[in-house]
């Protein structure tokens, strides 16, 4: 949530600023642009938990040796419709884009394709990858293991799970895809990180402190556990997504998962799974899109609850946010702005705000 105290920066300036820093620490220019485009788009879409708020830790991990700045993805095993790839401990956003591109290319002749990934890192917003598929008239899937364990098994008292986000995106005739992107906790841990940076409270049901009791203190919540969505159902869901993200490739799961923030000199071996279903392999594309138009109309025109002016489709609010922020600028909290500005000073770069 933005506030009147936020600092506005332009998309182009923030992109150039972050790209230059990555280049300065050894990331090839093309790779740096792919990573930063992913991060900045998350902020444009209002998904601040997966935008540049994460940039400083990615930089630190490269400098500390935990992430490879010059990674080269390798295909370890392959069939016509599947692949297992090794991300060479590269930045997860780069590995994710390359793996989804591989899935889309393999599906060009109409096959349904899945690509499993090992030896990657935190890859940001899962929707970024599924929307890549939707733009090619394919239904896209992405699953990932969390980069830190901060959820207990249901009934447990020890963190063995991440909140393991996943996304599904559907092509439409609208200017945006219908896209589900969700963590398996009530709130993504990134939202708690944003609140902690800005000194803001969190809702009581988002997390517990290290004592296992609900807390509204974001700093205490980061020491404790996130709350699974729907209780035991959320636990089962995050377990399922974690297994999908790791067991096919050999990425780390459970007690093997490291800590994105604390073990910055150690490779994470994060896992992802990407999938695509080419719509035209199932039916004529126009017939599918006609049915999608009807589905969208049904949702939008449903009887509205009291005081509700508009029913939104999943992904629609994010698209509207993107249009707004491209025109008006991306809001950064004061604390995050200062952190990025200080990081820029080390590289003789200035993070300018919109006047």
pLDDT single digits (tens) 239-256: 999 999 999 999 999 999
CATH code of the domain containing 111:
3.30.1370.60
Compute φ and ψ for 118, nearest 5 degrees: -125, 170
Q: In whole angstroms, what is the distance from residue 106 CA to residue 280 CA?
A: 14
Confidence check: pLDDT of 19 > 60: yes
Handedness of CA 188, 140, 92, 343 (dihedral sign): negative
Rg for the chain, CA atoms, rounded: 20
Confidence check: pLDDT of 208 > 90: no
Q: In whole angstroms, what is the distance from residue 260 CA to residue 61 CA?
A: 8
The answer to whether position 79 is within a domain reads yes
Selection from 261, 320, 278 nearest residue 122 by Cα: 261
| Count: domains in the chain | 1
Q: What is the pLDDT of residue 355?
A: 65
Among 12-16, 92-96, 213-217, the minimum mean pLDDT is found in: 213-217
The answer to whether position 303 is within a domain reads no
pTM here? 0.93
Q: How many CB atoms lie within 10 A of CB 50?
A: 28
Compute the half-sphere exposure of residue 167: CA atoms within 13 Å on the CB side of its CA.
28
Q: What is the pLDDT of residue 188?
A: 77
pLDDT single digits (tens) 96-151: 999 999 999 999 999 999 999 999 999 999 999 999 999 999 999 999 999 899 89
Q: Where are the alpha helices (DSSP H) in the chain?
A: 11-24, 29-44, 55-64, 92-106, 127-134, 189-198, 218-223, 232-246, 285-300, 316-328, 334-345
The answer to whether position 56 is within a domain reads yes
Confidence check: pLDDT of 304 > 60: yes
Q: In whole angstroms, what is the distance from residue 34 CA to residue 21 CA?
A: 14
Strands 270-278 and 113-120: antiparallel
Helix (H, G, I), strand (E, B) or coil at 300: helix
pLDDT single digits (tens) 55-91: 999 999 999 999 999 999 999 999 999 999 999 999 9
Q: Please, what is the Cα angle at 67 between 64 and 73, to 5 degrees?
A: 160
The residues near 298 (Cβ < 8 Å, ≥ 6 apart) are none
Q: What is the pLDDT of residue 260?
A: 94
The answer to whether position 296 is within a domain reads no
pLDDT single digits (tens) 336-347: 999 999 999 999
The answer to whether position 221 is within a domain reads no
Helix (H, G, I), strand (E, B) or coil at 83: strand
The answer to whether position 122 is within a domain reads yes
Selection from 330, 272, 259, 282 nearest residue 143 by Cα: 272
The answer to whether position 330 is within a domain reads yes
Q: Which domain holds residue 256?
A: 7-185+228-291+314-345
Confidence check: pLDDT of 2 > 80: no
The answer to whether position 284 is within a domain reads yes
pLDDT single digits (tens) 178-190: 999 999 988 877 7
Q: In whole angstroms, what is the distance from residue 147 CA to residue 278 CA?
A: 30
What mean pLDDT comes out for the span 309-318? Answer: 97
């Amino acid at each position: 949530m933005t506030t009147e105290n936020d600092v506005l920066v332009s998309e182009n300036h923030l992109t150039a600023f972050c790209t230059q820093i990555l280049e300065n620490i050894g990331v090839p220019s093309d790779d740096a642009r792919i990573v930063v485009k992913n991060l900045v788009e998350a902020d444009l879409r209002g998904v601040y938990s997966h935008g540049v708020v994460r940039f400083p830790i990615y930089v630190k991990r490269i400098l500390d040796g935990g992430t490879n700045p010059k990674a080269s993805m390798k295909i370890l095993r392959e069939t016509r419709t599947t692949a297992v790839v090794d991300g060479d401990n590269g930045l997860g956003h780069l590995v994710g884009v390359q793996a989804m591109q591989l899935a889309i290319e393999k599906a060009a002749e109409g096959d349904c394709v899945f690509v499993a990934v090992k030896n990657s890192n935190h890859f940001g917003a899962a929707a970024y990858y599924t929307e890549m598929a939707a733009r090619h008239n394919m239904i896209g899937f992405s699953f990932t293991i969390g980069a830190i364990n901060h959820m207990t098994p249901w009934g447990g008292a020890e963190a063995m799970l991440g909140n393991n986000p996943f996304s599904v995106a559907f092509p439409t005739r609208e200017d945006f895809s219908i896209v589900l992107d969700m963590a398996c906790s009530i709130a993504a841990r990134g939202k708690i990180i944003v609140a902690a940076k800005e000194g803001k409270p969190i809702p009581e049901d988002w997390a517990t402190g290290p004592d296992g009791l609900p807390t509204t203190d974001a700093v205490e919540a980061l020491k404790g556990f996130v709350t699974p969505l729907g209780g035991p159902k959320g636990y089962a869901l995050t377990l399922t997504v974690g297994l999908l993200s790791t067991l096919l490739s050999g990425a780390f799961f459970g007690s093997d998962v490291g800590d994105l923030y604390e073990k910055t000199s150690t490779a994470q071996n994060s896992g992802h799974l990407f999938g695509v279903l080419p719509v035209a392999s199932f039916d004529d594309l126009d017939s599918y899109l006609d049915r999608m138009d009807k589905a969208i109309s049904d949702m939008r025109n449903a009887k509205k609850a009291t005081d509700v002016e508009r029913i939104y489709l999943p992904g629609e609010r994010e698209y509207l946010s993107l249009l707004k922020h491209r025109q008006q600028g991306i809001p950064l909290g004061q604390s995050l702005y200062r952190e990025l500005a200080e990081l820029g000073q080390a590289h003789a770069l200035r993070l300018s705000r919109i006047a």
